[in-house]
Amino acid sequence: MKIPSPLNPSAHPLAGPTLVVLVIVCAAIWGFVALAGEVMEGETHQFDTWLLLSLRDAADPANPYGPGWLRELVRDFTALGGTGILTLLTIATALFLRLQGNKRSMWVVLAAVGGGFLMSSLLKHGFSRPRPELVPHGSIVYTASFPSGHAMLSSVTYLTLATIVARVQPRRAMKIYVFTVAILLTLAVGFSRVYLGVHWPTDVVAGWVAGSAWAIMWWALANWLELRGVVEPEQSEPTAAPAG
């Protein structure tokens, strides 16, 4: 009986991707912990203050740069990272997967996003960083500042939804499109939090890092479950038949 060699990629199809994911996630965790340490020691306060005020009128920091319509647009962006919108999108995507017959993928989505919400709440409670008070808040806030819940949860939700939706799209162009939209939405939500003066910039960066790491872990888990037949296989673009 032939024993599969641990050095044989064909015997362990997830060995390469798993190692890459492990490195990325470990780097993200290290980056988050390092940034959190700097934040808690006050080392980032000068940078945070400078960047936050750079988006404001120097003569009147209460007014962010840009016309009135831009401020309303930014508020719309920040709403895309709110709990209500993200919950509705998650439920809508879960139902979409269920109607397509991808029941197990639906449960992966719900577990990934639900776990991300819980993780965000625990981190906020653990760090309890005060919100910036340099400028009036352009949005009502209820929780602590670090990490940004909007930035983290938009990363978790949009990237996780993109991962699962892309798996059931056979065309490569559609996969790229889905991920591009998810990344742009995540960046827009994070920027809006700083522009509205409700978060320090490092809150947003920490949220992006933590949320992205969480989404990547669930992407790896989905691939692992696929190999074991637990999750529906990813759809790939059909190859053109050779000319006869």
**Per-residue model confidence as pLDDT tens digits over 204-225:** 999 999 999 999 888 888 777 7
How far apart are the C-alpha atoms of 104 and 106, rounded to whole Å? 5
The pLDDT assigned to 203 comes to 94
On whether residue 237 sits in a domain, the answer given is no
Peptide bond before 17: cis, by omega within 30 degrees of 0?
A: no
Identify whether 156 is part of a domain. Answer: yes
Residue 4 lies in a domain: no
In a domain, 26, yes or no: no
Question: Which candidate, 125, 145, 139, 108, places its Cα nearest to that of 224?
Answer: 108
Would you say residue 27 lies in a domain? no
Cβ contacts of 115 within 8 Å, gap of 6 or more: 214
Question: Which domain, by its residues, includes 75?
Answer: 71-227
- Integer CA distances (angstroms), 75 to 58, 86, 133, 140, 185, in order: 22, 15, 19, 11, 13
- Whether residue 144 is contained in a domain is answered as yes
Q: Would you say residue 189 has pLDDT above 80?
A: yes
- The count of structural domains within the chain is 1
Q: What is the distance between the alpha carbons of residues 161 and 237, in angstroms, rounded to a whole number? A: 20
Q: Give domain status of residue 151, yes or no.
A: yes
Mean pLDDT, residues 1-14: 43
For the segment 11-32, the average pLDDT, to the nearest whole number, is 75
Reduced to 3 DSSP states, what percent helix, strand and coil does the chain have, rounded to the nearest 5? 65, 5, 30
pLDDT band at 9 (very low <50, low <70, confident <90, very high): very low
Residue at 32 is within a domain: no
